[in-house]
Structure 1
């Protein structure tokens, strides 16, 4: 693997040494270049996520000040509180990498920042999923006045989010891991 002369040896984001070796061979990247690329990718993802989540949270924050909010029953208030809490937690998780980067800036700890940012983004995505589901439940409840329609809409979007954001990526990851660990065929 290539490395810059005098550059500190950084821990890879992943413990998968085959991936680190592949990046070095196929892309000709050093560990520092790989970390820079990964940080750039994370920042791009954060730009998209942060804006959407902040807008969602902002709209949710004004809901209690609307006349119809008082008409919600206790269940509706619980759904609202869980939804707005998830949106705020998503903001916290999605802004945490930026804070960490600022504190560790110029301290040669990009590996720590990228690893932590990866984990924060995953937690943030989970909270975005909860907030999105809750927002749809609230809209469906307001539009139809039917708990069943709201529950059906919420369950449908929750399943879709779980499949697209979780199950499929994990399945692909597992398949790739199985292919790599399979004995070579002749």
Structure 2
């Protein structure tokens, strides 16, 4: 059965076309399946950018414990180091998760679920990456400036990341929610 030129007999497409499906078909001549393919490709491109950062950060953090200076860290600095390391590892897992998810659902007609899960993985991975960067900053700044100044600089850096990664996009989303 075709609705607005879209074949609704496909297993992924049991629902009627939503506003996005209708707009994409009218403007781009893009079917819901094509839209899912494009959305997944866009998510993968976004994740590639974040993966580079998280992999470099994690590599740095993995080597820190094997440096001579590590023995001189305070208990606070060691805890911050562990937090940065664990957050970095968790971010890495989530930013790689779309590839693993895809591999396990490959040829199962679960593209919609893949796109939704990958989007969530990416968003949570970015959040953990931001927190890992913040923890790494806190560690380095604590060693170089002391814990009090380090806390202030780190709070400022986290606010900066949150502003550009989350607040501005959400503000734009809310501001333009009435437009197609």
What is aligned with 1:154?
A: 154
Inter-partner Cα distance in structure 2 for 1:113 and 1:9: 11
Q: Give the direction of change, closer, same or farther, for the CA distance of 1:7–1:67 in structure 2 (3 Å limit).
A: same
Q: Give the direction of change, closer, same or farther, for the CA distance of 1:152–1:3 in structure 2 (3 Å limit).
A: same
What is aligned with 2:22?
A: 21
Q: TM-score, normalised by structure 2?
A: 0.89
Matched, 1:46 2:47: yes
Q: Give the direction of change, closer, same or farther, for the CA distance of 1:20–1:52 in structure 2 (3 Å limit).
A: same
Q: CA deviation at 1:42?
A: 1.0
Tell me the alpha carbon deviations over residues 119-176 of structure 1, each in whole angstroms, 9 at most, x when there is no partner: 00000000010011111122222333x2122112211111011111111111111122
Inter-partner Cα distance in structure 2 for 1:3 and 1:115: 21
Q: CA deviation at 1:180?
A: 4.8
Inter-partner Cα distance in structure 1 for 2:86 and 2:163: 23
Tell me the alpha carbon deviations over residues 61-84 of structure 1, each in whole angstroms, 9 at most, x when there is no partner: 111111111211111111111111
Matches within 5 A, 1:24-173: 24-144=25-145, 146-173=146-173
Inter-partner Cα distance in structure 1 for 2:168 and 2:32: 28
Superposed CA RMSD: 2.1
Inter-partner Cα distance in structure 2 for 1:94 and 1:9: 25
CA contact under 8 A between 1:11 and 1:111: conserved in structure 2?
no
Matched, 1:3 2:6: yes
Q: 5+ unaligned residues in a row in structure 2: which ranges?
A: none
What is aligned with 1:184?
A: none
Q: What is the SS of the residue equivalent to 1:65?
A: coil
Q: CA deviation at 1:9?
A: 4.1
Q: 5+ unaligned residues in a row in structure 1: which ranges?
A: 182-186
- Provide the aligned length of Structure 1 versus Structure 2: 176
Q: CA deviation at 1:22?
A: 1.4
